[in-house]
């Protein structure tokens, strides 16, 4: 399993991903799920992947080769076009592998998150499904997740607001969302990769890899747990009185 | 979908359940998923259910009929025996319905949580699977969940400790866990039923049903969100510096 997410606010985009990959419980490895492509001053892309590693690698091989040759993401004029292009490459890999996988009852499962900015355009953030169709993040839905998405979602639902959340806060939300997921599901694991992209930077300068021994990450985990316990304690006491009507078994 | 949970600590057990039931998206109804049986001073049981409503109702009909006749849970001498007995009744209903359901590709899905106390014994808390086998909560695993379990789990993993968490705190954890799940998944919905059982009470006196307009629940939701936002803001700032080795796409 994997867990990757990206949060878009009016000041930019935060990306974060775990690094655990496993094929059955006896084979747990570490593999980066975040890729960046940039032409500084002109265009920046960050890609996050979940699903079959063989499939995401095949797509990324095509993405990277094209980019190096000056085509594909290197020439798209809008983020929508870029997201559609990733979808086209996903479909190309589906043409190669889907039938053989399904013959052995293995689903064709690969998801991408694509975020970034092309000069002259606003930043954009998309999720690309295994079928190749793109979903765009918006002011109403300011974050996208792929992989093991449920554990880390409540904190995002409660806190992230497109117009109010700063990039610094969004970075903390992303780390807490990932940390909560790692804590509740052993198939999501460190290191955590993180990139923060401030609108109009058009290059990648803010990034970090957190291992499970990273002193700052441990400090954040500890302080977060203390804050949650304090928040629970500070909630008003709940009065529970008597038997509610119809509350007994039939 | 449903979400029910129970937390056991050294001072007792807290039970909480949502009330949404749906069969397809065009049929969303409200139905209680918590049942209590008691012989005050002698034995107390609380049951929570998830899965097919038709199946849990059939099991509960058997449970209640036996109890009223002075057999079944009315005569079990240990909580383990009571959990095993629920498993037996689940298997009885499986004998009635499983084959017909599976013929139409509907899984035989019904889960129970059973908690309570029999005089002379410590309180006990069990999860009974659709196959009828029981799983016991313990000091290491002080909570059990059924239904839509993922959204509400991180807060329990971070906060609930068998020896340290008070019953008042456990009640707040249960409500926050349920509220987080309702917020992230529309198929889990109010009212929330809640029972708190202090060890050796041997009767049920502390219970409450929270509708979605309950003033106390709204106050808790509001304060919780404010606390989370403050906790995020108070986390130390994260420094993100430069491009980590191997961080560019291949």
For residue A159, give Cα distances in angstroms to A9, A169, B212, B247. 12, 9, 20, 29
d(CA B112, CA B4): 9
B76-134 pLDDT, tens per residue?
A: 999 999 999 999 999 999 999 999 999 999 999 999 999 999 999 999 999 999 999 99
Indicate the helix (H) or strand (E) that contains A210: strand A206-210
Per the CB < 8 A criterion, the answer to whether A63 and A72 are in contact is yes
> Looking at residue A135, what is its pLDDT?
97
Q: Is the pLDDT of residue A25 over 80?
A: no
- Picking from B7, B19, B1, B83, the residue whose alpha carbon sits closest to that of residue B211 is B19
Task: Please answer yes or no on whether B227 and A239 come within 8 Å at the CB atom.
Answer: no
d(CA B113, CA B121): 18
Name every residue whose Cβ is closer than 8 Å to that of residue A51 and which is 6 or more positions away in sequence: A2, A109, A110, A111, A130, A146, A147
For residue A21, give Cα distances in angstroms to A18, A49, B247. 9, 11, 17
Give percent above pLDDT 90 in chain A.
82
* Mean pLDDT (whole number) for A2-15: 97
Name every residue whose Cβ is closer than 8 Å to that of residue B89 and which is 6 or more positions away in sequence: B59, B62, B63, B72
Concatenating the DSSP letter of every residue in chain B gives --EEEEEEETTEEEEEE--EEESSTT-EEE---EEEEEETTTEEEEEEEEE-HHHHHHHHHHHHHHHHTT-GGGT-SSHHHHHHHHHHHHHHHHHHHHHHHHHTT----EEEEEEEEETTS--EEEEE-TTS-EEE--SSS-EEEEES-STTHHHHHHH--TTT--HHHHHHHHHHHHHHHHHH-TTS-SPEEEEEEETT--S--EEEEE-TT-HHHHHHHHHHHHHHHHHHHHSPP----BPPTT-S--
Which of A3, A36, A154 to probe the B interface (max B CBs under 10 A)?
A154
For B224, which of A171, A231, A243 is closest by C-beta distance?
A231
d(CA A21, CA A57): 13
Task: Please answer yes or no on whether A231 and B234 come within 8 Å at the CB atom.
Answer: no
Strands across the sheet containing A124-128: A34-39, A43-51, A110-118, A124-128, A134-136
d(CA B54, CA B98): 12
Q: Is the pLDDT of residue A92 over 80?
A: yes
A160-217 pLDDT, tens per residue?
A: 999 999 999 999 999 999 999 998 888 888 899 999 999 999 999 999 999 989 999 9
Task: Please answer yes or no on whether A206 and B240 come within 8 Å at the CB atom.
Answer: yes
Other CB atoms within 10 A of residue A205 CB = 14
* A134 min Cα distance to partner chain B (Å): 21
Domains of chain A: 3-232 (3.60.20.10)
Identify all chain A residues contacting B173, using CB atoms and an 8 Å cutoff.
Answer: 232
- Picking from B160, B196, B191, B155, the residue whose alpha carbon sits closest to that of residue B176 is B155
Name every residue whose Cβ is closer than 8 Å to that of residue A166 and which is 6 or more positions away in sequence: A9, A11
Compute the half-sphere exposure of residue A51: CA atoms within 13 Å on the CB side of its CA. 23
> Looking at residue A84, what is its pLDDT?
98
For residue A15, give Cα distances in angstroms to A57, A115, A174. 19, 8, 8
* B158 min Cα distance to partner chain A (Å): 6
Confidence of residue B24 (pLDDT cuts 50, 70, 90): low
Identify all chain B residues contacting A238, using CB atoms and an 8 Å cutoff.
Answer: 168, 171-172, 175, 194, 208, 216, 220
* A159 min Cα distance to partner chain B (Å): 6
Identify all chain A residues contacting B239, using CB atoms and an 8 Å cutoff.
Answer: 208, 216
The lowest-confidence range among A119-133, B19-33, B67-81, B108-122 is: B19-33
Helix runs in A69-109, H state only? 79-103
Q: Is the pLDDT of residue B242 over 70?
A: no
Find residue A210's DSSP bridge partners.
A192
Q: At what angle do helices B167-184 and B215-234 cross, to 10 degrees?
A: 90
d(CA B103, CA B125): 34
Q: Is the pLDDT of residue B12 over 90?
A: yes
Which of B158, B173, B224 to probe the A interface (max A CBs under 10 A)?
B158
B166-211 pLDDT, tens per residue?
A: 999 999 999 999 999 998 888 888 899 999 999 999 999 999 999 9
* B245 min Cα distance to partner chain A (Å): 9
For A243, which of B171, B207, B229 is closest by C-beta distance?
B207
Task: Please answer yes or no on whether A223 and B235 come within 8 Å at the CB atom.
Answer: yes
> Looking at residue A55, what is its pLDDT?
94
Task: Please answer yes or no on whether A244 and B193 come within 8 Å at the CB atom.
Answer: yes
φ/ψ bin of B235: left (φ > 0), alpha (ψ from -120 to 50), beta (otherwise): beta
Sign for the CA dihedral angle at B195, B192, A234, B164 comes to positive
Q: C-alpha A234: how far from its chain's center?
A: 32
Task: Please answer yes or no on whether A236 and B216 come within 8 Å at the CB atom.
Answer: yes
> Looking at residue A184, what is its pLDDT?
86
For B249, which of A37, A194, A236 is closest by C-beta distance?
A37
How many interface pairs between A and B have CB atoms less than 8 angstroms apart? 196
Q: B227 to chain A: nearest residue by CA? A: A231
Task: Please answer yes or no on whether A151 and B155 come within 8 Å at the CB atom.
Answer: no
> Looking at residue A243, what is its pLDDT?
64
B37-83 pLDDT, tens per residue?
A: 999 999 999 999 999 989 999 999 999 999 999 999 999 999 999 99
């Amino acid at each position: 399993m994997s867990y990757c997410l990206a949060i878009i606010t009016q000041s930019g985009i935060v990306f974060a991903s775990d690094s655990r990959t496993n094929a059955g419980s006896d084979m747990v490895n570490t593999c980066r799920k975040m890729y960046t492509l940039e032409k500084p001053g002109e265009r920046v892309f960050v890609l996050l992947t979940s699903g079959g590693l063989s499939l995401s690698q095949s797509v990324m091989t095509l993405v990277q080769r094209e980019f190096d040759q000056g085509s594909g993401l290197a020439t798209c004029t809008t983020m929508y076009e870029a997201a559609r292009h990733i979808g086209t490459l996903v479909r190309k890999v589906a043409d190669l592998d889907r039938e053989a996988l399904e013959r052995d009852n293995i689903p064709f499962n690969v998801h991408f998150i694509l975020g970034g900015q092309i000069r002259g355009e606003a930043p954009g953030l998309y999720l690309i499904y295994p079928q190749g169709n793109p979903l765009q993040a918006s002011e109403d839905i300011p974050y996208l997740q792929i992989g093991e998405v449920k554990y880390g979602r409540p904190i995002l639902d409660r806190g992230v607001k497109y117009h109010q959340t700063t990039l610094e806060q969004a970075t903390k939300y992303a780390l807490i969302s990932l940390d909560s997921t790692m804590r509740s599901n052993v198939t999501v694991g460190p290191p955590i990769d993180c990139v923060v992209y401030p609108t109009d930077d058009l290059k990648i300068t803010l990034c970090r890899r957190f291992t499970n021994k990273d002193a700052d990450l441990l400090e954040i985990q500890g302080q977060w747990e203390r804050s949650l316990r304090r928040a629970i304690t500070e909630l008003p006491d709940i009065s529970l009185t008597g038997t509610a009507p119809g509350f007994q078994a039939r």
